[in-house]
Homo-oligomer: A and B are copies of this chain.
Amino acid sequence: MKSTIKDVAKKANVSIATVSFVINDSKPISEETKTRVLKVIKELNYHPSKSAVSLVSGKTGNIGFILTDDHFLRTEPFYTTIFLGTEFEARSEGYYILLTSIRPDFSEEDPLPRFILNKSVDGIIIAGKIPHTLIERISAYKLPTVFIDYIPPTNSCPLVLIDNIQGAVQATNHLIDLGHTNIAFIGGDIGHPSLSHRLYGYKQALENANISIKNNLIVVDAKYPDKQNGFNSAKKLFSKNKNVTAVFACNDAMAIGVLHYLNDNGYKVPQDVSLVGFDDVEADIMLHPPLTTIRVPKIEMGVEALKLIVNSVKSKKSLPKKVLVPVELIVRESTSLCKPK
């Protein structure tokens, strides 16, 4: 069953070098022998051994994918979906992805991912926020690296980022277009660039529409942007401001919390209050009503990252290109026209 290049060479009456040249198209070979060799290859169902090729070429054909344990295991499949995108593209590029996760408190003593130590990858994709220690220690190995959804401190690598500002502008504009003027922003962890960009986009959209920004409609003191804090922030917002007709939550998790608060307190969505989230999480369509949100193209982010890394691997000169992936407004049933007073 398992045939080698030697078997092919023997049966085709050529040297193994010729077979190699035919396979890789690396030297001119006469049409005649070329077809003969190809025929034998097919007959014997020959496929080059990856280990052998790796050993001699120094290239492994693998790309490492690193993320932290919490991102790996969190119920929300955000980075996992990005991983699927890389895998998808890897297949058509002829690469394999080796996935591994590391502890969020990665320290000097922790061992680096195996695939770096035993040289099993040609490049690395790092998704999400990752400890600096790790970044530094990896950089010693001079492997091409691409970051996804994170801006590392010393940046000389290609980046794949979400266009958060544009997304926030789209979300806010959608509410403005529906006639809303009292539009609140609910956020949290404003130190995180992604979320502060979303706030920035919100403000920009209001300004462009000549709607004044009211600080009492901006609730950003939550530590984490999760469901519970969405609920709490909504409580804080609505207990003081009765005239809010629309809310833009910085992500879907918070939006879900807001929705629960509204449901529990007699507000009808979208009749009384319109609600927009951000991320397009799977759970959104299960909600009642399904959530209008900004879709982040996770698969595409993975695809982009893989393209970048393959480029770096092949060309060796990795220019620190930044790819801002565009986002998209998904209108479902949690938003509607502002009802006239």
19 A-B pairs (CB sep. < 8 Å): A1-B142, A48-B118, A49-B118, A49-B119, A50-B51, A50-B54, A50-B118, A50-B119, A51-B60, A51-B119, A72-B84, A80-B80, A80-B84, A94-B114, A96-B98, A96-B115, A99-B99, A283-B283, A283-B286
Shortest distance between the CB of A321 and any CB in chain B (Å): 26
Which chain B residues border A76 with CB–CB below 8 Å? 282
> Which residue of B55, B60, B80, B117 is within 8 Å of A47 (Cβ)?
B117
A288: interface (CB < 8 Å): yes
Q: Give the residues in chain B near A142, CB-CB below 8 Å.
A: 1
- Across chains A and B, which 4 residue pairs bring their CB atoms closest together, nearest first? A51-B54, A283-B283, A51-B55, A283-B286
Tell me which residues from 288 to 325 in chain A have a Cβ below 8 Å from any Cβ of chain B: 288, 299
Residues of A123-176 whose CB lies within 8 A of B = 140-142
Contact (A263, B288) CB under 8 Å given A50-B118, A96-B98:
yes
Per the bound structure, the CA–CA distance linking A335 and B288 in Å amounts to 19
Closest chain B CB from A322 CB (angstroms) = 27
Tell me how many residues of A have a C-beta within 8 Å of chain B. Answer: 47
Contact with B along A71-103 (1 / 0, CB 8 A): 011011100110010010001001011111100
How many Å lie between the Cα of A94 and that of B117 in the bound state? Answer: 13
In the bound complex, residues from chain B placing their C-beta under 8 Å from that of A118 are 47-50
A73 & B84 in contact (Cβ 8 Å cutoff): yes
In the complex, A260 has a CB within 8 A of chain B: yes
A20 within 8 A of B: no
Q: Which residues of B contact A101 (CB under 8 A)?
A: 87
Known: A49-B119, A54-B54, A283-B283. 17 other contacts (CB 8 A): A1-B142, A2-B119, A47-B118, A48-B118, A49-B118, A50-B51, A50-B120, A51-B54, A73-B299, A75-B282, A77-B80, A77-B81, A80-B84, A97-B99, A99-B99, A260-B288, A282-B283
Q: Is A209 among interface residues, defined by CB-CB distance under 8 A?
A: no
A interface residues (Cβ-Cβ under 8 A, vs B) = 1-2, 47-52, 54-55, 60, 72-73, 75-77, 80-81, 84, 87, 91, 94, 96-101, 114-115, 117-120, 140-142, 227, 256, 260, 263, 282-283, 286-288, 299
Contacting residues, chain B, for A227 (C-beta < 8 A) = 286
Distance in Å: Cβ of A76 to nearest Cβ of chain B: 7
Residue of B nearest to A252 (CB): B286
Measured between alpha carbons, how far is A1 from B283 in the docked complex, in Å? 47
- In the bound complex, residues from chain B placing their C-beta under 8 Å from that of A52 are 51, 55
A286 cross-chain contacts in B, Cβ below 8 A: 227, 256, 283, 286-287
Question: Once the chains are docked, how many angstroms separate the CA of A167 from the CA of B230?
Answer: 34
Cβ distance A228 to chain B, nearest Cβ, rounded Å: 11
Residues of B contacting A120 in the complex (Cβ-Cβ under 8 angstroms)? 50-51, 96
Instruction: Identify the closest chain B residue to A75 (Cβ).
Output: B282
Q: Which residues of B contact A140 (CB under 8 A)?
A: 1
